[in-house]
Amino acid sequence: MNYRYNIFEINYKKLNLQRIKLTKIRKDMEEKNQVEKKVILSGIQPSGKLHIGHLTGAIKNWVKLQQEYECFYTIVDLHAITVKQNPAELRRRTLETAALFIACGVNPEISTLFIQSFVPEHTQLAWVLNCFTGMGECSRMTQFKDKSAAHSENINIGLFSYPVLMAADILLYQTDLVPVGEDQKQHLELTRNLAQRFNFHYSDTFKIPEPYIEKVGARVMSLQEPSKKMSKSDDNDKATIFLSDTDEEIKSKIKRAVTDSDSVVKMSNEKMGISNLMTLYHIAKNMSFDDIEKEFAGKGYGVFKSAVADAVADYIRPVREKYLDLMNNKKYLEELLTAGAEKARKRAFKTLRKVYKKIGFVQF
């Protein structure tokens, strides 16, 4: 009896030791995986209300990728001030933007959510990168040309070096992938060039990031001028479906969307208005373009627009409801943004320190 009891005790101890060993191995592996997870960074300016283009062009992909990658999503308020902003509105929109990220499915427990101006390393690295960027490079940027035409009274140096600050946002985190809409491709190209230039001068310092641009939804067009991209700063409210719009507002905007004098529902470069509505329907219903063409063959634009209006209203409704809920809990938002910035700073500081050392700044 005694003997049996002893054997059992020895085995138990052994088992326990093994369990401790296994837990340690599992923990080590988890940590290793964490370190090895590829990094994503992306951002949106709090310069206006977010619209359906932000969801389909950027945030939808952020949500899709957040399990597989280590993600940093930022509200780029420093970028927003390159055009005139009302201070109270900027403050409010910054929180609204954070709430909308979460309402669209960004999980703050998995992804790091932060406000750009909370992390001073962004402007610090931007300054260094400014000294490696040619005037010609910035003047070629389409967004600079468009924005300086739209804000001719305020063509400031911040607007000019906007893409350099964006490069700093990305390079600070040793980012692998940048999910953005089609219009940001050129800025990404400049980011890659700057990283390669710096690495060439001073040895490997920055990861060279890749853009991640989905084909469908990467460029949602204005409902009123379908040759222009849908924009939060459009003067015409009817051109844009905001994520905070009510069902009635969404339906009315879609029913009034500019189309053409034809009546055939078909994807075509000559039918930008209809193609844009088909893209929205495709996203909201997850239906192929062929099936959409078949469903509406011979039915005319009236029936089609009504179906798009209902589908998009159904698609946006849960986002709006979650957003309104979050806006009633500002303390929660503020806390998670503060925690996000702390985490972001740890990573950003490591890169900035390396950069400062390489360019010859005295280190203490």
Provide the binding-site residues for ligand ATP, judged by CB under 6 A.
44-45, 47-48, 53-54, 56-58, 180-181, 183-184, 218-220, 229-233
Q: Pick from ligand ATP, ligand LTN, none: which does 48 bind, CB < 5 to 8 A by kind?
A: ligand ATP
CA distances from 242 to 16, 76, 249, 251, 277 (A): 57, 19, 9, 12, 15
Q: Do residues 245 and 237 lie in contact, with contact meaning Cβ atoms separated by under 8 Å?
A: no
> In the block, which residue shows the tokens 């990658």?
69
Scanning residues 2 to 41, which ones bind ligand LTN (CB under 6 A)? Answer: 41
Please say which residue, 126 or 313, places its beta carbon nearer to ligand LTN: 126
Q: How many residues bind ligand LTN (CB under 6 A)?
A: 13
Name the residue among 62, 132, 148 with its Cα closest to residue 97.
Answer: 62
Describe the crossing of helices 142-150 and 162-172 by its angle, rounded to 10 degrees: 130
Nearest approach in angstroms of CB 301 to ligand LTN is 32
With b for 16 or more beta-carbon neighbours within 10 A and e for fewer, the 264-300 pattern comes to bbeeeeebbbbbbbbbbbbbbbeeebeebeeebeeee
Q: Pick from ligand ATP, ligand LTN, none: which does 240 bind, CB < 5 to 8 A by kind?
A: none
Q: Do residues 171 and 351 lie in contact, with contact meaning Cβ atoms separated by under 8 Å?
A: yes
Nearest approach in angstroms of CB 204 to ligand ATP is 28
Among residues 229, 251, 271, 285, the one annotated as catalytic is 229
Please say which residue, 43 or 226, places its beta carbon nearer to ligand LTN: 43
3-state class of 75 per DSSP?
A: strand
Q: Which residue is nearest to ligand LTN (CB)?
A: 43
Would you state the structure tokens that stand for residue 327, as one six-digit string?
């806006």
Q: Decide if 229 is catalytic.
A: yes
67-106 mask for ligand LTN (x: CB under 6 A)? ---------x--x---------------------------
Element (H, E) at 19: helix 2-36
149-188 mask for ligand LTN (x: CB under 6 A)? -----------------x--xx-------x-x---x--x-
Q: Pick from ligand LTN, ligand ATP, none: which does 178 bind, CB < 5 to 8 A by kind?
A: ligand LTN
Among residues 37, 38, 207, 232, the one annotated as catalytic is 232
Nearest approach in angstroms of CB 64 to ligand LTN is 16
With b for 16 or more beta-carbon neighbours within 10 A and e for fewer, the 186-213 pattern comes to bbbebbbbbbeebeeeeeebbbebebbb
187-226 mask for ligand LTN (x: CB under 6 A)? x---------------------------------------
The residues, ordered by sequence, that sit 6+ positions from 240 with a Cβ below 8 Å of its Cβ are: 51, 222, 223, 230, 231, 232, 234, 253
Name the residue among 40, 63, 60, 71 with its Cα closest to residue 178.
Answer: 40
3-state class of 290 per DSSP?
A: helix
Q: Pick from ligand ATP, ligand LTN, none: which does 351 bind, CB < 5 to 8 A by kind?
A: none
Alpha helices per DSSP H over 104-243 = 121-130, 135-139, 142-150, 157-160, 162-172, 185-202
Nearest approach in angstroms of CB 201 to ligand ATP is 29
Q: Decide if 147 is catalytic.
A: yes
Please say which residue, 188 or 292, places its beta carbon nearer to ligand ATP: 188
Q: Pick from ligand ATP, ligand LTN, none: which does 230 bind, CB < 5 to 8 A by kind?
A: ligand ATP
Please say which residue, 175 or 259, places its beta carbon nearer to ligand LTN: 175
Q: Decide if 330 is catalytic.
A: no
Q: Which residues are catalytic?
A: 147, 229, 232
